[in-house]
Chains A and B, each alone.
Chain A
């Protein structure tokens, strides 16, 4: 597994302007020094609460947000600049699936034109081949032929998201950034879309950056997971590292928040949750610096990293 995308010390700041001359007086640190590696064909999960900067990372990777500093290395080349990205046809290989499927489809275009858009831009192929390719894609996402002449509003949410996926895989990308692709769908449709994403991953060998706040979904989908809080990664590792041996208090807090339908142990679960929450409040000062930023990551094993305080491992290991 060779790495295809590497984020090095990525920072995205949004300026806060104020005063008479509208000068930049402060910055919102949406993403503050993130390192992340994505290998070919794997699924990396990016989890965290709202506003933790996970969507900003996704948008920066596909080039919808400007990075303030840092490097975005794609197949050994720095693609931080838009010019270089355009030269390399970077977006042919790195595509995105959006959270709100309906809003991501132009209401005035037919499904055919929507799916054809990236193909027309990135691949110089004649109308016949294009037509064949689009029918192929429609087969892959399991929609009927007559869908091509229809408009987005004529489809259900799950179908709309599958159209979004068809567009994303149209140019045979290497990496797809999926920004909460199922959070707007109801549960039965979620499973359908997720399994379908897994299927095309297996068939086409696509790597996913799976951005989500739903840990159940992340557990189902991903190989490696990075947990974000306030613009920094607080813990990253394999699925097993994160779910079975969480080290950071924030990760533990997130995991305890997964709802459980085990009614007989309701009281016990609740007690457990409260304990973790209390733990988080107590140890907050240890795990975050005085500005509320997470500490630098520490290597715990070959795959597992966490932002622990000095000597923090010992404090935490008995938990």
Chain B
């Protein structure tokens, strides 16, 4: 059993490796991203909350390379590098959680509606059309302001309400092409239940696509969370985010005279999201190849 599983994952891992070898940009992005995640998560493990909440007015807005602050300090006198680490961790956490919820919900609903099709699919898709045309950003902001005990979990929930639709539609479309393949028909005549056919027969064939989709959804969610935090409707006070760091730039004086407070955060977002998209595109190509060669 273990040997079988090993072989099965090997073929997928193998084709991803081959693609990364061909695509140098994606290869570099992968190495870079792994390094960033390791540094961010390990560094922030050693931080106490007081480190990034307490204000030290004496050290406010120190320029880079002064008294041990490599990138200077922000308006609370906190080291920019430390703030970058903790903010990146918070932003990544939110993006991870939203991506996870999105994928789970999107996969389950997508496979079910694509498999059964017919009238259920028709009604369900009209419902997703409806949710899609809602101005999601505005509704998220309204929810954030009216929810009484707002914390990062409620933010995850609110963003997830709107994010599952894209994944659902993608998985549904691919499920619909899989359903017509003979192996699904063969499973039906072999007496396999619908539930098993959906998640044990069809779904494993979508796994490459799911991985590719996951990376792209993750990049999108980082953007969404930092955007909300920038506007002041993201993570609650006391939980720094890359968005709140960039928010410093809304003050004209900081924007022009103290760029070290907000430039590092923008650079981190830019590079991380770009790297994820490069990887995602490479994975998407792997998914397409695997679909084409079958």
A92 to B181, CA, bound (A): 21
Query: From B182, which residue of chain A is reached at the shortest CB distance?
Result: A104
Let me know if A117 and B185 touch, CB within 8 A.
no
Q: Are B185 and A64 in contact (CB under 8 A)?
A: yes
A91 to B181, CA, bound (A): 19
Q: Does A108 contact B (CB under 8 A)?
A: yes
A106 touches B205 (CB 8 A): yes
| Bound Cα distance from A129 to B188, whole angstroms | 24
Say yes or no: B191 contacts A104, CB within 8 Å.
Answer: no
B182 touches A98 (CB 8 A): yes
B186 neighbours in A (Cβ, 8 Å): 96, 98, 104-105, 164, 167
**Chain B residues with CB below 8 A from A122, complex form:** 190-191
Interface residues of B in 218-249 (CB under 8 A from A): none
Q: Are A117 and B205 in contact (CB under 8 A)?
A: no
* Bound form: Cα–Cα A62–B186 in Å: 10
A121 on the B face (CB < 8 A): yes
Asked whether B190 lies within 8 Å of A91 as measured between CB atoms, the reply is yes
A245 at the interface (CB under 8 A from B): no
Among residues of A, the one whose C-beta sits closest to the C-beta of B196 is A121
A103 at the interface (CB under 8 A from B): yes
Q: Does A240 contact B (CB under 8 A)?
A: no
Contact with B along A92-125 (1 / 0, CB 8 A): 1011101110011111111000000110011000
A312 to B205, CA, bound (A): 56
Question: With A107-B205, A107-B294 in contact, is A167–B182 under 8 Å at CB?
Answer: no
> Is A89 at the interface (CB under 8 A from chain B)?
yes
Q: Within B182-201, which residues are at the interface with A (CB < 8 Å)?
A: 182-183, 185-192, 201
Tell me the nearest residue of chain A to B204, going by C-beta.
Answer: A108
Which A residue sits closest to B206, measured CB to CB? A108
Contact A96 B204 (CB under 8 A): no
Query: Given A108-B8, A108-B204, A108-B205, A103 and B183 touching (CB < 8 A)?
Result: yes
Q: Are A117 and B4 in contact (CB under 8 A)?
A: no
A316 to chain B, nearest CB (A): 40
| Best-buried of B191, B204, B205 by chain A (most CB within 10 Å) | B191
CB of B205 within 8 A of CB of A118, answer no
**Residues in chain B near residue A89, CB distance under 8 A:** 191
| Cross-chain contact A96 with B189 (CB below 8 angstroms) | yes
B90 → chain A closest CB, angstroms: 37
A149 beta carbon closer than 8 Å to chain B: yes
* Docked CA distance A95–B40 (Å): 57
Contact between A91 and B183, CB atoms less than 8 A apart: no
Q: Chain A: which residue is nearest B188 at the CB level?
A: A64
Contact between chains at A104 and B205 (CB < 8 Å):
no
Q: What are 5 of the A-B contact pairs (CB < 8 Å)?
A: A59-B185, A104-B183, A106-B201, A121-B192, A149-B3
Besides A64-B188, A107-B183, A108-B205, 20 other A-B contacts (C-beta < 8 A): A62-B189, A64-B185, A89-B191, A91-B189, A95-B190, A96-B189, A98-B185, A99-B182, A103-B183, A104-B183, A106-B183, A106-B205, A107-B294, A110-B4, A117-B190, A121-B190, A121-B191, A122-B190, A122-B191, A164-B186
A residues near B (Cβ < 8 Å) are 59, 62-64, 89, 91-92, 94-96, 98-100, 103-110, 117-118, 121-122, 149, 151, 153, 164, 167
